[in-house]
């Protein structure tokens, strides 16, 4: 702990102070968290067990499901416990750990969604080079690189927060620890730190988002020369990815591309990208994807047949 730090724990205000509403939210978010675990584990198991899904697109989809589980698990269990608790506290070390893993998972998802857009770009615009450009080795390197980049980003964010002196107020107006609400409690001027946070998190989100939009604009232009059936199949796959991108990048850009301020809307936006988006991703990718639905159906029939034996 840095010199001058006297705060040993933080108090989280949570989502609401109304007891009845807390119980309702506990029941609601408990169901959502179980659906996150069940839906994303099902996708991972399906991708692993069906050889037809051993392609780069579904390799990335399985990794996305893993990240969604990790991302939700950073905040949801603590949030659920606090909804039943009178005192919503978290230790200084626990707060910094939550902050680190939150940014690790969020940044990894941003980079993975960008890699998935690149995969679709190569598959549609350069189909002949696709097997060599998106080999298993190349995909593995991409995943390793995105986790490395996310780790560096998360370390920077954590260092920016932990190096500040905390000697007075310790009440965080949120249901989890994140850099913007935490640094507001520091006993020093945090303007420069806030600028660095916007430069780091905000620019990563905005740059990757613009890269995604650019890749899909190129894809749309290249589809003009394709057959109607080819256009329909490509747009179906890209449509699912674009829906996930919009659901995840929108809240991230809203929170991290502006100076540190206190908006009541921040809590709603934070709930959306930490809890709601991870439960929607499996729904988006399964409802619009016939291959995944078919693989899940075969997996279920295989399990029923095995039990019958």
The number of domains in the chain is: 1
Using only C-alpha atoms, what is the Rg of the chain?
21
Instruction: Decide: helix, strand or coil at residue 110.
Output: helix
* Residue located via tokens 């650019």: 214
- The 171-172 sheet, strands edge to edge: 89-91, 9-12, 171-172
pTM here is: 0.87
Q: What pLDDT was estimated at residue 65?
A: 92
Q: What pLDDT was estimated at residue 259?
A: 59
Q: What pLDDT was estimated at residue 275?
A: 85
Query: Domain holding 240: CATH number?
Result: 1.20.1070.10
Q: What pLDDT was estimated at residue 151?
A: 95
Q: Is 303 among the domain residues?
A: yes
Q: Is 264 among the domain residues?
A: yes
Q: Is 2 among the domain residues?
A: no
Q: How far is CA 241 from CA 68, 98, 106, 114, 217, in A?
A: 14, 28, 16, 10, 14
Q: Name the β-bridge partners of 12.
A: 172
Q: How far is CA 168 from CA 5, 157, 164, 185, in A?
A: 9, 22, 12, 7
Task: Identify the weakest region by mean pLDDT among 33-37, 72-76, 242-246, 273-277.
Answer: 242-246
Tens digit of each residue's pLDDT (9 = 90 or more) over 185-241? 888 888 888 778 777 777 788 888 888 888 888 888 887 776 676 677 667 667 777
Q: Is 4 among the domain residues?
A: no
- Looking at residues 46-50, what average pLDDT do you find? 87
Q: Is 195 among the domain residues?
A: yes
Beta strands at 171-172 and 89-91: parallel, antiparallel or unpaired: unpaired
Nearest to 161 by CA among 197, 133, 132: 197
Distance CA 259, CA 274 (A): 21
Tens digit of each residue's pLDDT (9 = 90 or more) over 68-86? 999 999 999 999 999 998 8
Its domain, for residue 15, covers 9-308
Q: Is 22 exposed, middle or buried (0-12, 13-18, 19+ CB in 10 A)?
A: middle
Nearest to 246 by CA among 280, 271, 220: 280
Q: Is 3 among the domain residues?
A: no
Q: Is 173 among the domain residues?
A: yes
Of residues 155 and 204, more confidently modeled: 155
């Amino acid at each position: 702990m840095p010199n001058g730090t006297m705060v040993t724990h933080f108090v989280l205000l949570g989502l609401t102070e109304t007891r009845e509403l807390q119980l309702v939210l506990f029941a609601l978010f408990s169901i959502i968290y179980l659906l996150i675990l069940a839906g994303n584990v099902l996708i991972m198991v399906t991708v692993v067990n069906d050889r037809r899904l051993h392609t780069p697109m579904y390799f990335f989809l399985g990794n996305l499901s893993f990240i969604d589980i990790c991302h939700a698990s950073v905040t949801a269990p603590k949030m659920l416990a606090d909804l039943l608790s009178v005192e919503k506290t978290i230790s200084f070390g626990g707060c910094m750990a939550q902050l680190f893993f939150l940014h690790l998972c969020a940044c990894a998802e941003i980079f993975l969604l960008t890699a998935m857009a690149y995969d679709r770009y190569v598959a549609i615009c350069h189909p002949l080079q696709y097997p060599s450009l998106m080999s298993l080795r190349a995909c593995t390197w991409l995943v390793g690189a995105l986790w490395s980049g996310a780790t560096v980003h998360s370390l920077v964010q954590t260092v920016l927060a932990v190096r500040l002196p905390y000697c007075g107020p310790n009440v965080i107006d949120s249901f989890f620890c994140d850099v913007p609400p935490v640094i507001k409690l520091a006993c020093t001027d945090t303007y420069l730190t806030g600028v660095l946070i916007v430069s780091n998190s905000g620019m990563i989100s905005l740059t990757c988002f613009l890269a995604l939009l650019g890749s899909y604009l190129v894809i749309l232009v290249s589809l003009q020369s394709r057959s109607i059936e080819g256009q329909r199949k490509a747009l179906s796959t890209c449509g699912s990815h674009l829906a996930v991108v919009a659901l995840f990048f929108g809240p991230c850009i809203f929170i991290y591309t502006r100076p540190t301020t206190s908006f009541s809307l921040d809590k709603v936006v934070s709930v959306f990208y930490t809890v709601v988006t991870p439960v929607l991703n499996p729904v988006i990718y399964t409802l619009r994807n016939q291959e995944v639905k078919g693989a899940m159906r075969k997996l279920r029939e295989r399990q029923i047949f095995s039990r019958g034996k």
